[in-house]
Amino acid sequence: MRIVFMTVIPSRAAGLSRLASFISLAGRNYAQRRNSDMGQGQHNDVSMLSPYIRHRLIEESEVVSEVLSIHSAAQSEKFVQEVFWRTYFKGWLEQRPQVWTRYQQGVETHLNVLAKDKSLRRRYDSAVLGQTGIKCFDYWSRELRETGYLHNHARMWFASIWIFTLKLPWELGADFFLRHLLDGDPASNTLSWRWVGGLHTKGKTYLARPDNIERFTNGRFNPVGQLATHAESLTEPEETMPDQALPQSVVLPHSAFLLLVHEDDCHPESLLCPSPLLQDRRLSGVIGALATPLRSPLAVDTKVLSFTHAAVSDALTRCGSDRSLIDGDWAGPLIAACEQDGVKHIVTAYVPVGPSAQALAKAMPEFERAGITVTQITRPWDRLTWPYANRGFFKVKKKVPKILEDLKQNDIQVHLI
C-alpha cells in the first residue's frame, strides 16, 4: 500500500492558512467524523493543525477564537475540547515533572535491554520497520516514519497493539513517536501512551479492537484474530502526585533584555498580549535556540529536526532577527549574545517540561555565574487552565466556559457565541 507524503510547511503563515481552510469543518462535521482515519493524504476531517499548535506557531486562543466565531459552543464542543486536552496534558506534567524523568529513564533502561535481548530486538525492529504482519499496524508505522504524522485514532490503536499485542515496552513506543512526530510533544505523547497502558488513569486501559479499526478505517483494515483480546493495566512502583508548583506571574526586568525564542513557543510577537513584547524599548535583540535532539537517546528523524529548525527560524525572521540559531549547548552562545548587547537579562516564553527545559536548566548555573537572570512569561491560556489540570481531564472540561470568559476579560481574542 503506497503512502503519499504531504508536506507540512513550518511557518506561522502556513498554520494560519491551514486554520482558515479547516475552520468551516470544526463544528458538526468534526464531531461526527473526527474518529475516521481514511489514510494518509485523506485526513480531511481533522484539522492537521497539531504541528503548528505544538510549536505555538499559532496559539490555542487564536484557534478557538476563530472556531467560535462561526460555530456555536455546542457545535464546536468536541473540537474545542481537543485543543484543551493538549493544554491539560501540559499542565498535568508541569505539576509532575518526575513523570517525564521516569519516562526518560525507562527509555534508557529498555534500550540497554534491547542491546542484550535478541528476541526483544527482533520484535522491536519489526514494529518500527512495519514488518509485524499486522497490516494496519505496519501501515501506520510506515506512515509515521515517512510523513511525521498519524491520525489521533491511529495513534491510540498503534499504542494499544504495541503494548498489549506485541508486548513491547511502552516507553520505547513513546520514544518512537517522539522521534518521528512533527507534533511530538513531551506531555501529550508521554501521557497519551500512559493513558493507553492504564498508568495515567489507574487501571483504565485502551484495547484496540478489530471491529473498531474496520469501522473507522472504512474497511481498509480488519485485523481479526491478530490482536490481544485483553488489556491488563500496566503498573508502576509509586503513585504519581503533584509535587511541583505552577509558575507565577512575573515582572519584566527594568533594564534592557534579550528575547529568547525556543521551539515550544514560536509566536514571540504576542508574548505580552495584547501589547507585543517586540515593541518594548528595553528589548536589545532576539535569538533562537533548539533542543530537538534531546527528545531521545536515539537519532531524531530529520523531518522533525528540519521542522523545528524552520519553525524557530520563521519566528526570528518575523522578529527581524538575523542572529544564528543556537542548536546544542545554550549557555555559551546566549552569554555571548548578552555580552554583545550589553544586557544581563534574558526574557522568554515559559519553557515547559521537556527537552527545552532540560537545555535551559543545564545552562542556568553558567548564567548565574555570568550574572544573567532569566524571566519566563506564562501565557494567559496556560495560566488560566493549568491549575485545573491537577487530576483528570473532566475538571478542565467543566471549566472551559469560565476559562474562555476569563480570557475574554483579559483582552485575549476569544469570541463567545
State pLDDT tens for residues 13-71. 999 999 999 999 999 999 999 999 999 889 999 999 999 999 999 999 999 999 999 99
- Among 10, 87, 82, which Cα is nearest to 47's? 82
Backbone angles phi, psi at 283, to 5 degrees: -70, 120
pLDDT category of residue 275 using cuts at 50, 70 and 90: confident
Indicate whether 260 pLDDT > 90. yes
Q: What grid cell was written down for 93?
A: 506534567
What's the whole-number mean pLDDT along residues 166-173?
A: 98
Q: What grid cell was written down for 92?
A: 498535568
Give the least confident one: 122-136, 169-183, 395-409: 395-409
The Cα 152–Cα 113 span in angstroms is: 29
Indicate whether 6 pLDDT > 60. no
The Cα 286–Cα 262 span in angstroms is: 11
- Among 28, 65, 68, 62, which Cα is nearest to 45's? 28
The Cα 277–Cα 368 span in angstroms is: 24
State pLDDT tens for residues 285-310. 999 999 999 999 999 999 999 999 99
Give me the pLDDT at residue 150, please: 97
State pLDDT tens for residues 213-253. 999 999 999 999 999 999 999 999 877 777 788 988 888 89
The Cα 361–Cα 357 span in angstroms is: 6
Give me the pLDDT at residue 238, please: 76
Q: What percent of the chain has pLDDT over 70?
A: 97
Backbone angles phi, psi at 400, to 5 degrees: -55, -50
Q: What percent of the chain has pLDDT over 90?
A: 87
The model's pTM is: 0.95
Domains of the chain: 12-94+383-409 (1.25.40), 97-216 (1.10.579.10), 257-377 (3.40.50.620)
What's the whole-number mean pLDDT along residues 339-365?
A: 98
Q: Which helix (H) or strand (E) holds 286?
A: strand 283-290
**CA 247, 192, 305, 346: dihedral to nearest 10 degrees?**
0
Encoded amino acid at 311, one letter: A
Residue, of 275 and 329, whose pLDDT is higher = 329
Q: Which long-range contacts (CB under 8 A, 24 or more apart) does 272-275 make?
A: 272/377, 273/379, 273/380, 273/411, 273/412, 274/411, 274/412
Indicate whether 316 pLDDT > 50. yes
Give me the pLDDT at residue 117, please: 97
Indicate whether 411 pLDDT > 70. no
Give me the pLDDT at residue 416, please: 36
Give me the pLDDT at residue 103, please: 98
pLDDT category of residue 412 using cuts at 50, 70 and 90: low
The Cα 231–Cα 311 span in angstroms is: 39
What's the whole-number mean pLDDT along residues 192-212?
A: 96
Exposed / middle / buried, residue 165 (Cβ in 10 Å: 0-12, 13-18, 19+): buried
Indicate whether 1 pLDDT > 80. no
The Cα 70–Cα 72 span in angstroms is: 7
Q: 270: which DSSP letter?
A: G
Encoded amino acid at 60, one letter: E
Backbone angles phi, psi at 78, to 5 degrees: -65, -45
Indicate whether 4 pLDDT > 70. no
Q: How many CB atoms lie within 10 A of CB 217?
A: 20
**CA 351, 352, 353, 358: dihedral to nearest 10 degrees?**
-10
- Over the chain, what is the mean pLDDT? 94
Indicate whether 95 pLDDT > 80. yes
What's the whole-number mean pLDDT along residues 98-106?
A: 97
What's the whole-number mean pLDDT along residues 391-411?
A: 91
Encoded amino acid at 407, one letter: L
Residues composing the chain: 417
Peptide bond into 268 cis (omega under 30): no
Residue 65 φ/ψ region, left for φ over 0, alpha for ψ in the -120 to 50 degree band, beta for the rest:
alpha
pLDDT category of residue 178 using cuts at 50, 70 and 90: very high
pLDDT category of residue 8 using cuts at 50, 70 and 90: confident
Give me the pLDDT at residue 241, please: 76
The Cα 120–Cα 350 span in angstroms is: 39
Q: What grid cell was written down for 34?
A: 473526527
What's the whole-number mean pLDDT along residues 313-322?
A: 96
